[in-house]
Amino acid sequence: MDCPYYEESQFGGDTRVQALISYVLFGDARLGKNAIEQFSWSLNSEGFLSARYPTNSTYYIPNYSLYWIGMLHDYMMYAGDQAFIRQKLPVARILLGYFLDRLREDGTVRRPDYHNFVDWAFPRGEAPSDDNGYAALVDLHLLLALQWAMELETYAGDFHYYNQYQSAAEGLIEAIPKYYWNSSRQLYTDTPEGIHYSTHTNHLAILTGIVQGEAAAQLMRRALTDTTLTQPTVYWQFYQFEALRAAGLGQEYLDNLGIWKTMLRAGVTTWPETTLRSRSECHAWGASPNYHLYAIAAGVKPAAPGFEAVRVAPQLGEDQTLQCTHPHPRGSIGLKLTLKDGKLRGTIELPAGTTGELITETGAIELTTGTNRLNLTKH
């Protein structure tokens, strides 16, 4: 699926994006499950997974170990499989144990060892840290992984770990604004000195819920328009769009696909690693629109583990029509919707034994198994 020439291997950060694509395009979670399984075999005595696996060489990216927890969480939401989740939770606990052992009394975490890769937008791919090892993206990545882990433990684990993770998460939620919020710029900074600023840090502040509601929307717009910030490459745009959705700005998704349009105009047939002058000309971590067209534009997401419930939040503008078929463990979800004259009309089909909700500007509307016919005033 990725890098047939340059790397020829499976990397944790890349694979999370690719697994999600396979879930929404094919409805088959076996490749994602296989990747989770294989990476778990690479656990070392320090508490890391190999950044790439299978491999005969040693290479560690701490964030990629945390993204493995994200992969496990994604698999839980799309496939369920409680027995498999329970089997892999001890690996997640070991990974988090490394980071929790590095917590300071102030709630932040010391910068991990090895290659702290975030995105090639940064020198060597590593986000800034100060001389004392403070780095917003280290703290925010750990917070995100703790939030994933709490849901995993609730589904198939032990409340002892849930409580431990909740305590650490609360400490991070308190510390991150204290150390990294710059009120004069109304942005989160990469290090406490306020020298370096990136879209990446502000995206994760939204994704982790540190910033919510209208404040999140305003922060997201600043991150999208302030060109003095370190800008995301094609890989990190996956997290940019996750933050866009979390900030309630999903209707702006299609307007922010400029990098893909530029590459298509240049005649690419596979996505480059970073830009049109990349070392790798086939890098599937850039294929995230295949996922987000379903998850944001159509707005179809699991609302409970195993896709037991469905959340539908379509992003339609006036005089726009949306048709979508989304695979589901029990069949498929079908959307045929039109927004005209301020009215949302059409149908939403849910497979047998599945319920859900439609998210509108005025609130949530219950969806039931079978055909749900809609004729709603938007405002």
Sequence-distant (6+) residues with CB within 8 A of 238 are: 17, 285, 288, 291, 292
| CA–CA separation, 269 and 264 (whole Å) | 8
Average pLDDT for the chain: 95
CA distances from 44 to 48, 49, 78, 96 (A): 6, 6, 28, 13
Q: Are 367 and 356 in contact (CB under 8 A)?
A: yes
pLDDT tens-digit readout, 203-252: 999 999 999 999 999 999 999 999 999 999 999 999 999 999 999 999 99
Task: Give the pLDDT mean for 314-331.
Answer: 95
The pLDDT-based confidence of 72 (bands split at 50, 70, 90) is very high
Q: Are 307 and 283 in contact (CB under 8 A)?
A: no
Q: Are strands 320-328 and 309-312 parallel, antiparallel or unpaired?
A: unpaired
Q: Are 79 and 306 in contact (CB under 8 A)?
A: yes
Flag whether pLDDT at 379 surpasses 70. no
Where in the sequence of the chain do the CATH 1.50.10.10 domains occur? 12-297
The DSSP string of 211-231 is: S-HHHHHHHHHHHHH-TTSBP
Which CATH architecture fits 12-297?
A: Alpha/alpha barrel (1.50)
Of 272, 284, 128, give the one whose Cα is nearest residue 197: 128
pLDDT tens-digit readout, 100-127: 999 999 999 999 999 999 999 999 999 8
Provide the pLDDT for residue 135.
98
| CA–CA separation, 145 and 340 (whole Å) | 41
Where in the sequence of the chain do the CATH 2.60.420.10 domains occur? 312-377
Superfamily of domain 312-377: Maltose phosphorylase, domain 3 (2.60.420.10)
| CA–CA separation, 27 and 30 (whole Å) | 9
pLDDT tens-digit readout, 150-165: 999 999 999 999 999 9
Flag whether pLDDT at 5 surpasses 90. no
Provide the pLDDT for residue 378.
62
Predicted TM-score of the model (pTM): 0.97
Task: Give the pLDDT mean for 161-175.
Answer: 98
The pLDDT-based confidence of 1 (bands split at 50, 70, 90) is low
